[in-house]
Amino acid sequence: MDTYQLLNTALQHSGALYNAAEIQGLLCGLSCATEFDEQLWVKQIFGDQVQSPEPEQVFSLLQLKETTLTQLNSMDCDFDLLLPDEDTCLANRAQTLGKWCDAFLLGLGLAQVDFSDSALGQEFVKDLTAISRISTDEPEDEEGEFHYMQLVEYIKIGILNLREELVITT
In the chain (170 residues long), the average pLDDT of successive 10-residue segments reads 82 86 96 84 82 72 91 87 93 95 96 87 95 81 91 95 76
- Report pLDDT for 159: 94
Tell me the H-state helices in the chain. Answer: 3-14, 20-30, 38-46, 55-73, 90-110, 119-132, 142-163
- Report pLDDT for 66: 94
CA distance 146 to 77: 21
- Report pLDDT for 144: 87
CA distance 3 to 20: 9
Q: Spell out the domain ranges in the chain.
A: 3-168
What is the SS3 assignment for 2?
Answer: coil
Q: Among 3.30.365.10, 1.20.120.740, 3.20.20.150, 1.25.60.10, name the CATH number for the domain at 3-168.
A: 1.20.120.740
- Report pLDDT for 91: 92
- Report pLDDT for 135: 78
